[in-house]
Structure formats: structure tokens, C-alpha cells
Chains A and B, each alone.
Chain A
Amino acid sequence: MKYARTLLAAATLSLAGTASIAQAADEVNVYSYRQAFLIKPLLEEFNKETGIEVNLVTGGGGLLERLEHEGPNSPADVLLTAEVGPLYDAVERGLVSPVESETLASNIPAHYRDPENRWFALTARSRIIYASKDRVEKGEIKTYEELADPKWKGRICTRSGKHTYNLSLFASMIAYHGEEWTEQWLQDLKANLARKPQGNDRSQVKAVKEGVCDLALGNSYYFGKMLTNEEQPEQQEWAKSVNLIFPNQDDRGAHMNISGASVTKYAPNRENAVKLLEFLSSEKAQAIYAEVNYEFPVRPDTPRSELINEYMGDFKGDSINLQELGPLRATASKLLDKVGFDN
């Protein structure tokens, strides 16, 4: 018992040391859905330029609820996300506030921010079709709609339909074609799958390389990540086995999803929060942000990385506003249940 008491005392002491939140005068507090290793380089750059300390919590589902229940006393100033889902949800629940900033408005095109400026996209990626170089002719598939064609029976791979990137794409299908049409399309797509939806985007490309399937749905940046992977050189082989197809170039363009940021409703360091967002939309930050993850900068004037230019060239991206897709994501999720997409 004595021993236990000593241990407890020691542990309490060491906890007390770490419990106090950094109380620098000039700071900004970030709740982030993006992984730390992706955003730290940028936040450090921001600190160097402005002297503002950035405090960071990264996490997954649940951060939004934390923000909500902390209420007006929440220390969070900025919400950073890896996709539009939580941003839309935060807007719906009134957790974030509009930002009127000339800089942001001129840096970020209208379809990459909320119509009422409650969230701003910071990077974009396209949901593209990876097609086997050996088994799919160039021009054989050009649109998302064609994925439902019976000629692809047993030849398509995808991750879970419920994954946010797929939900976003399926929501856009509902926006363009309506619910009923999309249900049928999902049904037909499901019938074309080579295997039960599983794994992540990379493993779909791998499956193409391995001959499990011929087409795979995936985000564009995974191509860059695989092609340059020094730690697992076999991933370079996966990337080299596929062609990148940006669908629907003759009509609305390839579906785009985003990572983005909002300023919280009760941000105690609101001014710094806006500064951080403006910094993240600056040309310099856009170049770093896009480069680190092979995403596209949202600023049209930021030069893209060489790799992206070489393999992805110019393509047309769908410019539907993602705020509009928000409510359709839940609809898409239900349609997936209905057709048993993931079963």
C-alpha cells in the first residue's frame, strides 16, 4: 500500500506538470481532423512568420462534439478537417462562424468555400478511376456513370462505400441524377465489384496490379504517394501499373473533394484564427500544403508540383459547391444500406 501511495503521488505530480495548457499571450488553438504529420510543417512555418504559437489537438469523430459541449468556454479557435463532412456538420450545428476576409475571398474560388463563408477549402483532390494499363484500353471508360455498365462485371474494386470520399462522390451523383437513378446506379456498380468493398484507396490500386480487378476508385493524391514511396518500393510498381482517368471531362468534370478549415463560433483568439486561415491560403502555404500530400492547391495561381503536372496535367474538376452536397451524404449512406453495397 505504501508503495502504491508513493506511485500515485509521483504520477499525480507528473500529470500536474503537463496539465496546464500553454497560455502564451499570442496563440491560436486548433482542433484538427487532419493527422499531425501532415500539417505540422505548415503550422511551424506560420509560427515562424507571425510569432503566433499554434496549439494542436488532432483526433477523429468526436472532436466536433467536444467543441459543441465545451460551448462558449471552448479554447478552440480553428477547426481543420480532412474532408467536407465535419465542416458541413459544424455549420449545421452552428459551431462555426462566417469570416469576412478580403484575402480569403480573393485567394479561394467561390466553389471551394461555403456560400456564407463559414468554411474554406485549403486543398483539393479528385476522386478518379485507376485503370489497369494492361487490361483496359485508353478511352474505354470515360465517366462515373459507365462504371455501372455490365461489361465491367467482376472487374471493379473500391473501399467501403461508406467511406467519406465515396459518400461525397455518391452524393454528387444524387445531386446530378436524383435519388432513384443513383440507387439503380449503385446497385449496378455493386454487381460489378470484384470483391466486397474493403481496405483503403491504395489497396485498390494494388488489387489492380495483382489482377484482382481492372478498375479502381481512388483519390488522386494516392498516386503521388505511391509513386514516390521509398520505404515500400513495391508501391511504385502498383502506381506504374495503372492509368489515371479523370472522369466526365466532356460534361461536369471529375468529382472533387477537399480538406478545409473553419473559425469556431466562440474563438477566443479570433484574429489569430483568421490570420492562420489567410496564411494557409497564401501562395507559399498552398505550395507546401499541396506538395506534402500530392493534393491540388485550391488557389488557381499556385504552381502544381512537377509530378502532378506530369501525370495529371490539366483536367476539368466539378465545380458544384460542396455545401450543397452535405445533406445528400446522409441520403447516399442510406442508399448504400438499401442496396447492401458493403455486404
Chain B
Amino acid sequence: MRSDTATLTCSQPRLPRPRLAGWYTLAWSIALIVALPVLAVFYLALFPDENIWSHLASTVLPVYVITTIELVVGVSLLSMVAGVGSAWLVTLCRFPGRRLFEWALLLPFAVPAYVIAYVYTDLLEFAGPVQGALRTLFGWETARDYWFPEIRSLGGAIVMLSLVLYPYIYLLARAAFLEQSVSLRDASRLLGCNAWQSFWRISLPIARPAIAVGVSLVSMETINDFGTVDYFAVKSLTAGIYDTWLNMYNLGGAAQIASLMLIFVVMLITLERKARERQKQFHSADRFSVMEPYRLRGWRAAVATAFCLMPVVCGFVIPCGLLAWYASGYLDQLWSEDFLSYASHSFTLSLTAAVVSIAIAVVLAYARRLYSERRSLQFAVRFSSLGYAMPGAVLALGVIIPLAAFDNSVDAFMRRHFDVSTGLLLSGTTFALVLAYVVRFLAVSTGAVDSSLSKVTPSMDMAARSLGQTASGTLMRVHLPLIRGGLLTALLVVFVDCMKELPATLIMRPFNYDTLATFVYQYASDEMLERCSLAALLIVLVGVLPVILLSRSITATRRQA
């Protein structure tokens, strides 16, 4: 442990590299392709139909900005408390239900944000069962007789988004806690720290990089969300983008807001990165030694159980229970041929996109490792994953534009030289959809792969290369087997994200092509949640399976000892 830390706090050692720079070229090409959509949005921003800023600045911009900040800060804080707190409890403490919570805490991740928003509105609005019961109980009659928190509000949106987003943080924080050196914690206990102090002084600071990645994923998801904020009438910047684009017919202006939002996100991420630049850690050899957990008893155990129970019940049990209740009236849908095709479309698309996304993430992360001193490559790779912070529909335009330009140039070329029209080769195909998913969720896969790969000590590379392996051979024989768990995590997270994806799918899909998410949307948008509850439930259930698998694989890494 000491020698690792010593090498690395000085400077990253240069790894032996292949002569032909194949990895370098490959990574650059991929990064460029994946960055195209974001660049296309920047390009759109150069041509506003009219200058939108003077109008915005004098009217709604302050509201948009403040609301967005409140939303992002609120969701990040709430998700962090739920995610880090529960991760620490299930990893380092023993209390009733811990084994169950280990995986159950991931379940809300499979629930799309727009679905949970619809479900809770049904439950908590005036006509819903909760307020209905209260009225019967207290003899109130109209909404003017009593006060009840308004679900369609900024606070409501913060809670809804946190409920489905905290698992990102939970997942990453838990992995970080599991990997932490037991000896450090043992030392802190020997020196007289209690569980609480040890959490604040040791576990939390060491887990900070992982938590930071989680929080940045959560904030980006929050920023790009449109379904929930629109439904709750929360005026965030994303709402402003749609308004400028569709109501003021000013796509360029909308692209400007989106670009600005992106710059803001980049600044935040850079700041955070700078703040912990000096910290670098690698696994120590005693990672697998048995750790002595804190055994909680009495009220402490009760509080721990309640703390972990709440997000699971609110984020999963209640919404899915209600969906199942609705769905029970529409079970015959399940056997219709259409429905099966929607499900298989969702499944194959998401799986393909997840696999491609992970493959790309591995290439990018490994090239960064090989060429760690090439700043331009580092930048290009980071830039390529920015699509995540853009509203889905705007990013979809960013994918549509270069694809259509490519198709049309190929067509023009073929017409000119061979008198053949090739038409649209890629636009409006499932290829375009997979590309959109990959671009949209690359931040998730690179984040996960990067953090796994960065924990493999460089001496592994050196040993493998001095034993005659090529760079590719080292990746295949040494790194991939070592980071298998991390890859699986990334794969499953991206898969679940793709299952839930809606805005890009809606605009870019081929003719006569539905997925579970688009099927849900056509009814949910008309407030007929009952009719699509079965599909919504299926999205969740298909997402739950990998979530459970995921949790088992993570736990397995610990128990391999």
C-alpha cells in the first residue's frame, strides 16, 4: 500500500505503449464520433432565430436559473443522504434486514422518473386516496378547509427525482466502502474512534471520488429531466429550452440555453475534480481480509432499519404496488402480439446499446491509461460524455443532424458517380437509436469503467508488458478479468437507463416501431396511466432483474476472500 501511494502521489508513471498508436487513433475516432451530437447542438446555437437573451434575462431567466439550482442542490443532497447513509449502514453495520436491503435499495433505480411522478400525483392529489381518507376522517369538504403539501411543486419534484436517482450514489458509495482498506478502519478504531467518527474521518473522505461521480450523475440526470418538471410545472432551464424551441420557434436560442447549461455542468465537474486532484488510491493487498462490522442493537438498529426501509418503500413498493393494482385490470394486454414485440424491442435495443457502450468505454478508458500525459485525448474523452447533461430531445436532434448529413452526402456522392440513390442509410433505423443511447449514457459507462480501471495498479501493466504481452493482450488477459465486476455494473446500469429512455426513442425511431417506453408515453401523456400500467410495470421488472444480479456480483467480490 505504501509503495503504491508513494509512486502515485508524485506523478503517473508512463506505461509502455504500442508503437503503432492504434489505441490512440481508435480512442480519438470514437471520441470524435460520440462528441458529434454535442458539437451539433453547439452548431445550432450559432444560428438563433432572434436574440433570446434580452427577453429571457428581463423576464424568466432568473426564475429558471434559481429553480434549476434549487432542484439540483435539493436532489443531490437528498440522494446523497439516502445513498451514502444506506450504503454505509448495509456495508459496515449489522442490523435486522441488512441482507435484504443490500439489493433492495437498488430497486427504485428501475422505476422511470415520469412514472413515479404520475403515480404519486394519483396518490397524493386532492382526489387521491390519501387526502380522501383524511377528509373522511376529519370531516373536511373542500380543498379550502385544510392544508396538504402540494405534490406538484418544486419540493415534490425534488423528492420524486431523489427517490429514483439515489441508487446511483448508493451503488458507487457501496462499492467504494467495500473496497476500502479494512486496516485503515481498524486503525481508526484502535485510536478510539466510534462508528460515527470513523464514518466521518475515514470512510467518507476515502469514498469521496466515488460519491462525487455518483452526485455528478445524479445532477446531470436532474438537469436533463423534462417529464417530471413539466408535469409538476416546475420552471427549470430545461423547461425554458423546450419553451424557446417549440413555443417561440427559436431552436437556435434553445440550443444556446442547452450549451450554457452544459458549460455550467463542466465547470462544476472540473471544480470537483480539481478539489481532489491530489488524492489517489489503489487497492491494498488486505482488501479481502475479514472486516469486523459494527453490530447495532436496540434503537440504533431500529433507526438503521427504518432509514434503509424508507427509500425502498417510497421508491419501489408503493409505486409498483399501485401499478400492479392498475395493471390487474389489463392483464390480457400481456398476451397480445404487439405487446410482446414492444417488450422485445426494448430488450434488444437496450442490451445492444449497453454492450456497445461498455465496449466503447473500455477503449476510451484504456487509451487514457496508456496515454495519460496527452491532455488533448483526456479532454476529448471527457467531452464526449457530456451528452448526458442535455435534455434527451435536444441531444436527439444532435444525433439526427450529423446522421442525416452523412446519409445525404453518401447519397449525393453515389448519385453523382454511380447514378444510384442510397437514400437514408442510417437515419430512422435502429442503428440511429443505438447510437443515440450510447451517446446519451456514455457518461455512465465511462464513469464506472474508469473508476474500476483506475484502481488496477500500474505495476500490473508493467509486469504484463515485461512478460511480453502487447497492450491489447494486457487488456484482454489482465485488466478485463480484473475489472469484470465493474464492467458488469456498468453494463447493467446502462441497460436499465436505456430501458427507461423516452425522448430520443420517440423522435428517432423507425416506422411502426414501439418500445415499452413509447407505449407507456402515448397513454401516460393523456393521463391514462391505467392503460399502460402493465407496460410501465414491465419496464420496472425487466430492470429489476439486472439490478438484483448486479448486487449479487458486488457482494460476491467481497465474499471471494
Interface residues, chain A, with chain B CB atoms under 8 Å away? 1, 4, 7-8, 11-12, 14-15, 18-19, 21-22, 29, 35-37, 55-63, 65-66, 69-75, 85, 89, 92, 160, 162, 164, 167, 196-200, 202-203, 206-207, 210-212, 231-232, 234, 329-330, 333-334, 337-338, 340, 342-343
Q: In the complex, which residues of chain A have a beta carbon less than 8 angstroms from the beta carbon of B351?
A: 7, 11
Q: Are A62 and B247 in contact (CB under 8 A)?
A: no
Alpha-carbon gap, A69 to B60, bound state (A): 31
Count, A-B residue pairs, CB within 8 A: 181
Given A29-B511, A35-B525, A73-B407: A11 and B355 interface contact (C-beta under 8 Å): yes
Identify which of B397, B421, B503, B522 contacts A58 (C-beta below 8 A). B522
Query: How far apart sit A89 and B248, CA to CA, in the bound complex (Å)?
Result: 10
The B497-543 residues at the A interface (CB cut-off 8 A) are 503, 506-514, 518, 522-523, 525-528, 530-531
When chains A and B are docked, how far (Å) is the Cα of A189 from the Cα of B344? 49
CB atoms of B352 and A12 under 8 A apart: yes
Cα(A58)–Cα(B506), bound, Å: 7
Contact: B530 with A37, CB < 8 Å? no
Determine which of B344, B503, B508 lies in contact with A14 in the assembled complex, contact meaning CB atoms within 8 Å: B344
- In this complex, how many residues of chain B approach chain A with their Cβ under 8 Å: the count is 76
A160: B residues at CB distance < 8 A: 233
Tell me whether chain B's interface is mostly helix, strand or loop, or mixed. Answer: helix
- Shortest C-beta distance, A165 to chain B (Å), equals 12
Q: Check: B243 CB closer than 8 A to any chain A CB.
A: yes
Given the known A-B contacts A14-B348, A62-B396, are A57 and B235 also in contact in the complex, defined by CB atoms under 8 Å?
no
| 4 new A-B contacts at CB < 8 Å, known A58-B522, A66-B404 | A7-B355, A8-B352, A203-B527, A342-B233
Docked Cα-Cα span, A72 to B422, in Å, equals 12
Which candidate, B9-17, B366-374, B426-434, B442-450, is the interface stretch facing chain A? B426-434
Known: A73-B424, A232-B530. A62 touches B397 (CB 8 A): yes
* Given A65-B251, A338-B59, A198 contacting B152 (CB threshold 8 A): yes
Q: Return chain B residues, CB-CB under 8 Å to A12.
A: 352
The reply to whether A15 and B349 form a contact with Cβ atoms under 8 Å apart is yes
The interface of chain B, by Cβ under 8 A from chain A, is 55-56, 59-60, 63, 125-127, 141-144, 152, 232-233, 235, 242-243, 245-251, 329, 344-345, 348-349, 351-352, 355-356, 358, 393, 396-397, 400-401, 404-405, 407-408, 411, 421, 423-424, 427-431, 434, 476, 480, 491, 503, 506-514, 518, 522-523, 525-528, 530-531
Q: Within the complex, what minimum Cβ distance (angstroms) separates B438 from chain A?
A: 13
How many angstroms between the C-alpha atoms of A340 and B404 in the bound complex? 39
Residues of B within 8 A of A338 (CB): 59
With beta carbons under 8 angstroms apart, the residue of B59, B246, B355 that contacts A8 is: B355
Contact A18 to B428, CB < 8 A, known contacts A58-B522, A65-B251, A329-B247: no
In the assembled complex, the CB of A135 is this many whole angstroms from the nearest CB of chain B, namely 11
